[in-house]
């Protein structure tokens, strides 16, 4: 399945029609978009990452600012620095748990840094002039929200191509930003691992391992 399709179904004068079969497949895509930590080491085919990044850039952004910036991390020394940041932050996080939670945490697979063929850092250009400040003067954080929307779009496009994505958040963002030597004014939003998953699943790994089940309160709806 292509990550981007200009005409998913036959267009009408009012735009494309997304029929029930398409909506069912979209629901399946959303269910199977999982945070992947176990990767095969097979490289992605030529051109696939470019297609996924093109899809990510279709994400919505405040004032059409398009603040996302992608850094493909290939250098071994830079990867090692990110790995060291993860190990340090992970050890600190483990020390914050006790008893059964500490035991569960210690057994979690929390990053795919050793096996994923692609490591991609996603930054927000906090000083971008694109969009002329529209929509973000009162809520400047919407620049980062827009970058997160690009990550989610990339995630879904990757899953549609059979590629898994894992978001590594147990990192020191300031250290990673320094280690990747990006331009001033860029802030780290996500450090991602991409590759083919060893065993795709539609159930979150943290549910399978007993860390946290589904929360019924997550679908909170208030009426005012």
SS3 of residue 139 by DSSP: coil
Domains of the chain from N-terminus onward = 34-210 (3.40.109.10)
Nearest-10 crossing angle of helices 173-180, 76-95: 170
DSSP-assigned states of every residue in 166-214: EEE--S-HHHHHHHHTPPTTEEEEEEEEEE-BSS--SS-HHHHTTS---
> Do 186 and 124 contact (CB within 8 A), yes or no?
yes
Q: With cut-offs at 50, 70 and 90, classify the pLDDT of residue 203.
A: confident
pTM, two decimal places: 0.90
Question: Mean of the pLDDT values across residues 37-41?
Answer: 95
**Cα dist from 215 to 104, 106, 159, whole Å:** 19, 23, 24
Indicate the average pLDDT of the chain. 92
> How far is it, in rounded angstroms, from Cα 68 to Cα 147?
5
pLDDT in tens, 157-201: 999 999 999 999 999 999 999 999 999 999 999 999 999 999 988
Question: Mean of the pLDDT values across residues 93-113?
Answer: 92
> How far is it, in rounded angstroms, from Cα 58 to Cα 28?
21
Q: Is the pLDDT at 3 greater than 50, yes or no?
A: no
Run of H or E residues at 148 = helix 142-160
Question: Mean of the pLDDT values across residues 98-127?
Answer: 94
C-alpha neighbours within 13 Å on the C-beta side of residue 165: 24
Per-residue pLDDT at 207:
86
Residues sharing a CB contact under 8 Å with residue 192, sequence separation 6 or more, in sequence order = 118, 119, 120, 121, 122, 151, 154, 165, 166, 167, 168
Which residue pairs, CB below 8 angstroms and at least 24 apart, start in 136-139? 136/62, 136/63, 136/65, 139/62
Alpha helices in 37-135 (DSSP H): 48-56, 76-95, 99-106
The vertex-77 CA angle with 73 and 79, nearest 5°, equals 40
């Amino acid at each position: 399945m292509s990550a981007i399709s200009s005409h998913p179904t036959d267009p009408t004068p009012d735009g494309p029609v997304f029929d029930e079969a398409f909506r069912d497949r979209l629901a399946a895509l959303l269910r199977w978009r999982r945070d992947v930590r176990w990767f095969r080491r097979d490289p992605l085919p030529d051109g696939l990452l470019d297609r996924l990044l093109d899809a990510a850039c279709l994400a919505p952004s405040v004032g059409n600012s398009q603040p996302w910036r992608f850094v493909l991390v290939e250098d071994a020394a830079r990867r090692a620095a990110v790995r060291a940041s993860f190990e340090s932050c992970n050890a600190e996080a483990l020390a914050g748990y006790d008893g059964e939670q500490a035991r569960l945490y210690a057994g979690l697979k929390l990053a795919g840094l050793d096996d994923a063929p692609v490591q991609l850092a996603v930054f927000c250009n906090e000083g971008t002039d694109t969009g002329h400040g529209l929509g973000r003067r009162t809520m400047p954080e919407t620049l980062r929200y827009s970058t997160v929307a690009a990550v989610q779009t990339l995630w879904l496009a990757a899953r549609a191509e059979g590629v898994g994505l894992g978001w590594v958040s147990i990192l020191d963002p300031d250290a990673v930003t320094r280690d990747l030597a990006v331009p001033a004014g860029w802030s780290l939003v996500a450090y991602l691992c991409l590759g083919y998953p060893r065993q795709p699943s539609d159930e979150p790994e943290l549910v399978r391992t007993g860390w946290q089940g589904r929360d019924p309160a997550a679908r909170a709806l208030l009426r005012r």
